Structure 1
């Protein structure tokens, strides 16, 4: 019963609504409320601000949720560990990543699933860097791939995967010449870029601003596949990480030129919680990452290299 009470608290903190929390736990709302009331009696502290609707957790309730996530994660980790010792790794690996690292995720999940045929993988690939770390802290994911630009707090363990480098994707007859292009030259082209609210676009705007130019894209989109569809069928150029070309290729009639002045390379890494023993799923994914060389994502596909 104690674990169920902790699950109720975590669900209520996540949903901020009694009925939705109860539904997520597959119990009735009265059962959830009664479970939380009994937990309050056991701990002799109020955990929620009571009213006609959910009005938030007390300070004690917020602290209980922090401990509850940790306790529930340890419980699940113990079950996974024992299960792996008996019959091999099974269960679900929860993976989160920033959007531009989607190809890296796929290159790791394939060997992971090959090594652990009983395991399943759930991927969330539209997270911000800070969301990856937050979800790890809250035990909502087991591992994540994100940018490693600043120092990462000691509670996380980081394994470098590759450097994200940018290229200009433009019509072959644009006349840019040479084997590279400058950011200033790219800004002068008719561009299709990601939407400004997306993290990948904001990183591009930072570099453009650094060289004193600001592009005025004619078309903006919120998905990578739409971006490539636009530049494939329309008169647009774009700026993309070199890694994407290993998935989408360089469209016919276009060329990919590394961007210089300045050159930018942002480290991308696998992040897990550093606590021991940690999630058996996270350890298994970390082992796969150590055996998988992703540094080829830094370069253009060989057949498309200028």
Structure 2
């Protein structure tokens, strides 16, 4: 039995929650995956997978084996990168995730990292805060960009690298502009009476906005709800709804004409965004390179220019 391969199959099954899809992701047949997992159970003398007509989850012992599998695969990747990398040329994969509204920042960061280190192959994922925190805890993610105010939700100890303080804008269509315009501030109470497209309730961003509307004394019933930031942004340009977007998302749609972004006030809502990693985990060469870029002056200047309050911009973004 190839223990490392079997551990990889177990992780795939946990992620896909389906034998067929897990086998497909591992480029093996479903019987081969099932046989490998049965051999793993024989090796440890415990039942790992709850079996029925469909995948029914892992047993308590299976969860313990899964945690060990994540650690084993992480250490294997760290070793592989150490052996394959040259001193100034790190090589290997890097799994990164961001909460949906921070995806523009993470995408920009991944591009800068890959340009600086062509041997690094970043994977960029969009996740809810809960999924992001689970990924950091299980080591299925190397680094994540999200709400640092949630760092103590789990028992796992995290280290954060602050990136920006998010400010929020009401974005709406405007027939009077050819480029995205930064308009005069608008109160949350007034914005809450407009037809809005908002993220779905399980997203932490939605909780932030709901608290702001409640503080302004208005109960919001969204015209559209979505778990897609693309839908969130496009709904404004294609329909009659407005959206509440953080500075990074406003910057990402700067090329869209006939849009206006109004800073939201009363109350002032500011949310810290940062990169996070597990504190006690040995970093791979790719992660070391990413952390060096995060702390570089050129990246800090770039993220400041494309997120937060968008300070220093003219009256319009072009």
Q: Which residue of structure 1 aligns with residue 304 of structure 2? A: 295
Q: CA deviation at 1:96?
A: 0.7
Return 5+ residue gaps in structure 1 as ranges. none
Residue 304 of structure 2 contacts residue 310 of structure 2 at CA under 8 Å; is this kept in 1?
A: no
- In structure 2, C-alpha distance between the alignment counterparts of 1:232 and 1:53, rounded to whole Å: 43
TM-score normalised by structure 1 residue count: 0.84
Residue 270 of structure 1 contacts residue 286 of structure 1 at CA under 8 Å; is this kept in 2?
A: no
Whether 1:284 and 2:303 are equivalent positions in the alignment is no
Q: CA deviation at 1:279?
A: 2.8
Q: Which residue of structure 2 aligns with residue 248 of structure 1? A: 253
TM-score normalised by structure 2 residue count: 0.81
- In structure 1, C-alpha distance between the alignment counterparts of 2:23 and 2:287, rounded to whole Å: 29
Q: CA deviation at 1:74?
A: 0.6
Q: Which moved more, 1:82-91 or 1:104-113?
A: 82-91
- In structure 2, C-alpha distance between the alignment counterparts of 1:234 and 1:28, rounded to whole Å: 46
- In structure 2, C-alpha distance between the alignment counterparts of 1:78 and 1:184, rounded to whole Å: 54
- In structure 2, C-alpha distance between the alignment counterparts of 1:234 and 1:51, rounded to whole Å: 46
- In structure 2, C-alpha distance between the alignment counterparts of 1:218 and 1:46, rounded to whole Å: 48
- In structure 2, C-alpha distance between the alignment counterparts of 1:173 and 1:2, rounded to whole Å: 62
Quickly say closer, same or farther: Cα 1:248–1:2, change in 2 above 3 A.
Answer: same
Q: Which residue of structure 2 aligns with residue 191 of structure 1? A: 195
Larger-gyration structure (1/2) = 1
Secondary structure of the residue aligned to 1:85 is: coil
Quickly say closer, same or farther: Cα 1:257–1:146, change in 2 above 3 A.
Answer: same
Describe how 1:1-306 pairs up with structure 2 within 5 A.
1-49=2-50, 54-85=55-86, 88-125=89-126, 127-152=127-152, 153-170=155-172, 179-188=184-193, 190-197=194-201, 199=203, 200-220=205-225, 222-232=227-237, 234-249=239-254, 252=257, 254-291=259-296, 292-293=299-300, 294-296=303-305, 297-300=307-310, 302-304=313-315
Secondary structure of the residue aligned to 1:249 is: coil
- In structure 2, C-alpha distance between the alignment counterparts of 1:173 and 1:31, rounded to whole Å: 60
Q: Which moved more, 1:110-119 or 1:156-165?
A: 110-119
Quickly say closer, same or farther: Cα 1:168–1:48, change in 2 above 3 A.
Answer: closer
- In structure 2, C-alpha distance between the alignment counterparts of 1:96 and 1:263, rounded to whole Å: 27
Q: Which moved more, 1:284-293 or 1:51-60?
A: 51-60
Aligned residues: 301
- In structure 2, C-alpha distance between the alignment counterparts of 1:272 and 1:252, rounded to whole Å: 38
- In structure 1, C-alpha distance between the alignment counterparts of 2:145 and 2:111, rounded to whole Å: 15
